[in-house]
Chains A and B, each alone.
Chain A
């Protein structure tokens, strides 16, 4: 158990819908990262927050957004969902910016039908 929690574990929704994925980092970790894992793209970095502020953006679509709240939990919002958005979404956290190791949550499996 990494100490990073993610909810829900599974999510099945239809195209065009909007979902919110939630992540609670390890106690004391200030930095949160979101990654997408799919068969065709592998593990891709989406976005990073540090102490409530966005610090880095990766291959994140405009339909996707995220935020980190004062209690340091983070949410990833996915809207206008397409079939190709089906993937595993991981949240990771680290103590500070780097090069500290990132601890990964169990992931949310999103299935868009």
Chain B
């Protein structure tokens, strides 16, 4: 069964520092992978997705993720954190074209 694991329920960075949020997936078929962000009291917003093709995917707000099949990973990065990036981030895998299975989420804290 497809699943995702997000390492670290909380990640703290300083403003301007590199953001790295980890996601590993488990899938018996080529996966479709997504990163979503959830700001307080809001719904989920799509940051980026990987379906096929280029393994480095660029998303909104300066985020990108690289699909690494050999490592079964889809880590999310941003070169320089902003205060506005503080939110909860969810990695998800599409299962059977019918639903998303989400990781447990990583809360990103950005300090001045």
A residues sitting closer than 8 Å to B (CB atoms) are 2, 4, 33, 35, 42-43, 45, 48, 55-56, 58, 90, 92, 97-99, 101-107
Give A55 to B99 CA distance when docked, in angstroms: 10
A43-B90 in contact given A97-B98, A99-B32, A99-B51 (Cβ < 8 Å): yes
- Contact A33–B51 (Cβ < 8 Å): no
Is B34's beta carbon under 8 Å from chain A?
yes
- Contact A97–B102 (Cβ < 8 Å): no
A42-B104 in contact given A99-B51, A101-B46, A105-B43 (Cβ < 8 Å): yes
The 6 closest A-B pairs by CB, nearest first: A98-B97, A56-B98, A99-B32, A43-B102, A45-B99, A104-B43
In the complex, what residues of A have CB within 8 A of residue B14's CB?
none
Q: Which of B83-105 contact A (CB under 8 A)?
A: 90, 94, 96-102, 104-105
In the complex, what residues of B have CB within 8 A of residue A55's CB?
98
Supply 18 further A-B pairs (C-beta < 8 A) apart from A90-B43, A92-B44, A104-B44.
A4-B43, A33-B99, A33-B100, A35-B100, A42-B102, A45-B100, A48-B99, A58-B99, A92-B100, A97-B98, A98-B94, A99-B32, A99-B49, A99-B51, A99-B94, A101-B34, A101-B46, A107-B43
